Chains A and B, each alone.
Chain A
Amino acid sequence: MTTPTKTTGSSTAPIYAVGVEFDSARDLYHAAEKVRDAGYKRWDTFSPFPIHGMDTAMGLPKSWLSALVFIGGLTGFSTALFMEFGTSSFLYPLIVDAKPTNLMTIPAFFPIMFELTILFSALTATFGMLALNGLPRWNHPLFNWDRFKKVTEDKFYIVIEASDEKFSLEETRQFLQSLGGSHVTTIHQDETSNE
């Protein structure tokens, strides 16, 4: 952790991050490329909607949520498989219209296998996404920043966290200032931020 050389305010709470505001997706995109090239690791861009190509601009890899969903789908498929064959072939072989209870009956079992595969995959997609995003989390230092309310409306932000190895309050502030945004702000952990 670096030693703060200059603070703009009287807050004594520990520093969470430094943020800067932009007016358009284009400005945010180009600023993000510069932050990436400057070598920061613990930072993020914030926008009212997902911006096409931002993962590349930030140097982020593909989300591996899809792998989780694949596992979820397999779980759903095997649940149906065991449920159907387990009950209808082993626990209580139910012979309807002289149809077989062995593997040959699989076409009739397929619809439920399909439905449960979809059901488990969709549950994994939704709850996996929330888990990877650390949600629900109703308190966050970023909510201490007044201007950050506009992130869900029409403003764009870059926030570099104090826990980044390259973070130094003064240099990072100057760096953010040089990106062309406005309202460079130090965000504190638990108290209201100050500009």
Chain B
Amino acid sequence: MDSSLNPSTLNSDPITRAPLVLNKRTMGWISSYVSTIVESKTPRWWFISIAITSSIALLTPLMLCYLVATGIGVWGNNSPVFWAWDITNFVFWIGIGHAGTLISAILFITRQKWRTSINRAAEAMTLFAVVCAGIYPLFHVGRIWKVYFLAPVPNANAIWQNFRSPLLWDVFAVSTYFTVSILFWYTGLIPDLATVRDRCTTKIKKFVYGVMALGWRGGNRQWRHYEMAYILLAGLSTPLVLSVHSVVSFDFATSVIPGWHATIFPPYFVAGAIFGGFAMVLTIMLPARAIYPQLHDMITPGHINKMAKVILLTGSIVGYAYLMELFIAWYGANPYERAAFWYRAFGPYWWAYACMMFCNVVSPQVFWFKWCRTNVYAVFIVCMFVNAGMWFERFVIIATTLARDFLPSSWGLFHPTIVDILTFIGTFGLFTTLFLLFVRFLPMICMFEVKAVLPEANPHYGEEHH
């Protein structure tokens, strides 16, 4: 694989736009290339990878069975750190789940046409990340068989939910986000499933993809409603994606704990989510691009360059938020607030704070240099730093803050148990297994949208301007 991307394919002149699909590919090429990934015989690397990832994924259900059978004490959560790895991992995964909808919704309504070749995979990644995220709060409630108490169903005690609680807001926000992400993803898939339906040769595939395509025919009388539905979903998802991580941040910000009780939390969490999400999109798209070299014409160096710029921007916003938190802690002159931040940076968890600062604030700064944005290895390494850094950020916010509450007599450190660690490793297996299944069985690139950004898709292509 070429390590440095050819800079001539990048957009050097801002007036003339670089082509979104390279090498003048035709519409037929796009369908056949993307569909071939689904149609061809399952490659050996896929079986090997899924055997590994699904074995790792098994750790999560095994550990959860052990937890349900024994009790929540098998996790390291204890006084005073009652929210620990589980909530850290929840916020970590739900944050990753933000990039997909950002790419599909916000970049759609701002008419960023380069999104078309990466939005499908990013949306799939969103769904899988939210699946991983949902596991943690669900089992953190302790008695998962009583989890229906979260829903406003009439019960024998005639007690209803506390709708003023940010934890209940979170239930609604995350479940709404998951549902809307599925709807958005599936709506985008319908025309492409029809393409696969019309191309496949075996009876079983024809039946399965035919059923999933819902009988799509591609008439303009259908496209008319389809486009309206798509832009409405994009318009609805835009405030939704901003609200979900804001609501997650309310879990912390509405409490009175020093270090959590801050108005900067919603925008800071949202920027962090986009930052971490884009890093994860690149973390999985770069290997996919290496395995399927023809994707290079659709996921071009220009795409990687743009995503690196988004990482640089949001990483800098996150860095600003970290510094502003420190400044306000000093400027606010609240001794508890000052102590909380002093403890974060110089207490026993200083290493987590230092990792967070280095990975999230320092490492993305290399993207100021075009060489780094166009070198796939450099991009990949920075993305791995960001993935780690965003996990440390949540750990710093949750564990170090709770380790020292108002009563010095109850101060204590958090120690993860082996169950904590294996459950978390298992969710990475689950995430990659789901993604491998997606790559194998569904069109990974949004074919109809990529066709629509080709120059010949314009009904006035080749005509003179009037």
Contact = CB atoms under 8 A, between A and B. Distances in A.
Contacts of A62: 228
A103 interface: no
A69 B166 CA distance: 27
Given A45-B220, A112-B163, A118-B180, A133 B194 contact: no
A40 to B, nearest CB: 13
Given A109-B163, A149-B198, A136 B28 contact: no
Interface string A170-183: 00000000000000
Interface in B199-256: 199, 210-211, 214-229, 232-233, 236-237, 239-240, 243, 247, 250
B218 A26 contact: no
B347 interface: no
B229 A138 contact: no
Interface in A60-100: 60, 62-63, 65-66, 69, 83-84, 87-88, 91-92, 94, 96, 99
Contacts of A99: 164
Contacts of A60: 220-221, 224
B158 A91 contact: yes
Interface string B241-284: 00100010010000000000000000000000000000000000
B175 to A, nearest CB: 8
Nearest to A156: B218
Nearest to B166: A111
B163 A45 contact: no
A88 B31 contact: no
Interface stretch (B133-141, B300-308, B314-322, B445-453): B445-453
Nearest to A154: B27
A140 B215 contact: yes
B247 A126 contact: no
Interface SS, A side: helix
Given A87-B161, A153-B195, A125 B236 contact: yes
B160 A139 contact: no
B187 A126 contact: yes
Contacts of A130: 214
Given A118-B240, A135-B214, A52 B459 contact: yes
Interface string A106-122: 00110110111011011
Given A54-B220, A135-B215, A152-B218, A87 B160 contact: yes
Nearest to A124: B232
A96 B160 CA distance: 13
Q: Could you say which interface size class chain B belongs to?
A: 35 or more
Given A54-B220, A88-B163, A109-B164, A125 B229 contact: yes
A32 B224 CA distance: 15
A150 B198 CA distance: 7
Contacts of B228: 62-63, 65-66, 129
Given A57-B459, A122-B236, A126-B229, A112 B219 contact: no
B419 interface: no
Given A128-B229, A149-B198, A52 B176 contact: no
B250 A111 contact: yes
Given A49-B452, A92-B159, A140-B215, 15 more contacts: A30-B459, A32-B220, A46-B217, A51-B457, A54-B220, A60-B220, A87-B160, A111-B243, A116-B172, A121-B236, A125-B236, A126-B229, A133-B222, A135-B215, A136-B214
Interface of A: 24-26, 28-30, 32, 44-55, 57-58, 60, 62-63, 65-66, 69, 83-84, 87-88, 91-92, 94, 96, 99, 105, 108-109, 111-112, 114-116, 118-119, 121-123, 125-126, 128-130, 132-133, 135-140, 142, 149-154, 159
